[in-house]
């Protein structure tokens, strides 16, 4: 079973490039992460699993309903727009209201990042699944980018489940593993991650230590 590790909530600001010590260019994704206060602690004795509920993105009190206000007020750290749970093997040593910051990560550390991929809307089979399409000669007309045959003859007389066809593409939860932290800047709550991470600019991401 994979180890459940600590993480932090962040917002993807975009991509840029930086220079390493040897002068080579490194493409990085800039993420503004935390500080994320612990809003609730779940334990195996009371909830059946161990997890920390983290808050991210300040929100005005008037925009919360009464149950939300009561729940978030217990931590005494203000009110937040986003609440996310991070499951851990153990929550020993964590306290309500404790802040998780980018200092929990270090340059060179392996991480995994979860985000929502960019939505592409409805796409055909060539873009969605990489089909090569039909040939451009021998009488093919107005069907060059179609997916070809999708079913059978009389038996079984139906389209099998899971057939790769045109449809909605993107806007799914995606996790990229074995990414590397290039730099951590605690003074601005910024993490620079080598390469790309899922999601669009200003999209919410979850950064966790590689288990």
Q: Where is 128: in which H helix or E strand?
A: helix 125-129
Q: Please tell me the distance from the alpha carbon of residue 109 to that of residue 192, in angstroms, as a whole number.
A: 11
Q: Give pLDDT, residue 73.
A: 94
The pLDDT value given to residue 2: 66
DSSP-derived secondary structure for 153-183: BTTB-SPPTT---SEEE---EEEEEEEEEEE
Domain 35-100 has CATH 3.10.180.10: no
Q: For each of the chain's 211 residues, which pLDDT tens digit applies?
A: 567 889 999 999 999 999 999 999 999 999 999 899 999 999 999 999 999 999 999 999 999 999 999 999 999 999 999 999 999 999 999 999 999 999 999 999 999 999 999 999 999 999 999 999 999 999 999 999 999 999 888 888 899 999 999 999 999 999 999 999 999 999 999 999 999 999 999 999 999 998 7
Instruction: Count other C-beta atoms under 10 Å from residue 11's C-beta.
Output: 18
Task: Give residue limits of the domains in the chain.
Answer: 1-34+108-140+166-211, 35-100
Closest CA to 78 of 104, 103, 57, 100: 57
Q: Do 1-34+108-140+166-211 and 35-100 show the same overall fold?
A: no
Mean pLDDT of the chain: 94
Give per-residue pLDDT as tens, 142-164: 999 999 999 888 888 899 999 99
CATH top-level class for 1-34+108-140+166-211?
mainly beta
């Amino acid at each position: 079973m994979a180890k459940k590790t600590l993480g932090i909530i962040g917002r993807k600001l975009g991509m840029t490039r930086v220079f390493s010590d040897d002068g080579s260019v490194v493409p990085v994704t800039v993420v503004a992460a935390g500080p994320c206060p612990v809003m609730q602690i779940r334990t195996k004795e009371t909830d059946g699993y161990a997890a920390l509920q983290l808050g991210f993105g300040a929100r005005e009190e008037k925009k919360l309903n009464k149950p939300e206000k009561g729940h978030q007020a217990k931590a005494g750290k203000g009110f937040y727009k986003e609440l996310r749970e991070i499951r851990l093997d153990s929550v020993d040593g964590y306290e309500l209201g404790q802040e998780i910051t980018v200092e929990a990560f270090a340059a060179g550390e392996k991480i995994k990042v979860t985000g929502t991929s960019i939505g592409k809307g409805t796409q055909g089979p060539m873009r969605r699944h990489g089909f090569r399409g039909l040939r451009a000669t021998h009488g093919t007309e107005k069907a060059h980018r179609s997916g070809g045959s999708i079913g059978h003859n009389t038996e079984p007389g139906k389209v099998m489940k899971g057939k790769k066809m045109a449809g909605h593409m993107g806007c799914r939860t995606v996790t990229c593993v074995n990414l590397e932290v290039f730099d951590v800047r605690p003074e601005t709550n910024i993490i620079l991650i080598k390469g790309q991470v899922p999601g669009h600019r200003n999209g919410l991401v979850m950064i966790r230590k590689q288990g």
